Amino acid sequence: MGSYDSSKPEAITPRLSDPLNKLSNYTVSSTSAILTIAPAALTATANAGTKIYGTANPVFTGQLTGVIPGDGITATYLSSATTSTVVGTYDASRAEAITPVLADPNSN
């Protein structure tokens, strides 16, 4: 998150328009304001998946929401489960759970 005080070009700066040339009738003062740019929300959610004991992991899927167009951020969905992982259900607290992995090639 960035904050820009009135001395920065990113600050909110009033710009007066005087199409009727009346501005000379005024004593004008203007004050810039601070502009705060907050980070965008980004959510990566893995879908539940199934694999058969003794087989390789399938391609896992999920949803990536909130990416700003042009930022190039992507997600893959991985699990540390192997062909010998014990049969069972693995919730999000376990290493075998399906986990989103983000890639940010543009360092955004």
Which pLDDT belongs to residue 31?
87
- Write out the chain's pLDDT in tens, 108 residues: 666 666 777 778 888 999 999 999 999 998 888 888 899 999 999 999 999 999 999 999 999 999 999 999 999 999 999 999 999 999 999 999 999 999 999 887
Give me 18's structure tokens: 């005087």
Predicted TM-score (pTM) of the model is 0.72
Q: Which helix (H) or strand (E) holds 8?
A: none
Residue pair 96/79 in contact (Cβ under 8 Å)? The answer is: yes
Taking only the tens place, the pLDDT of each residue in 73-97 is 999 999 999 999 999 999 999 999 9
CB 99 within 8 A of CB 45: no
Encoded tokens for 101: 């992995």
Segments making up each domain of the chain, as ranges:
1-39, 41-108
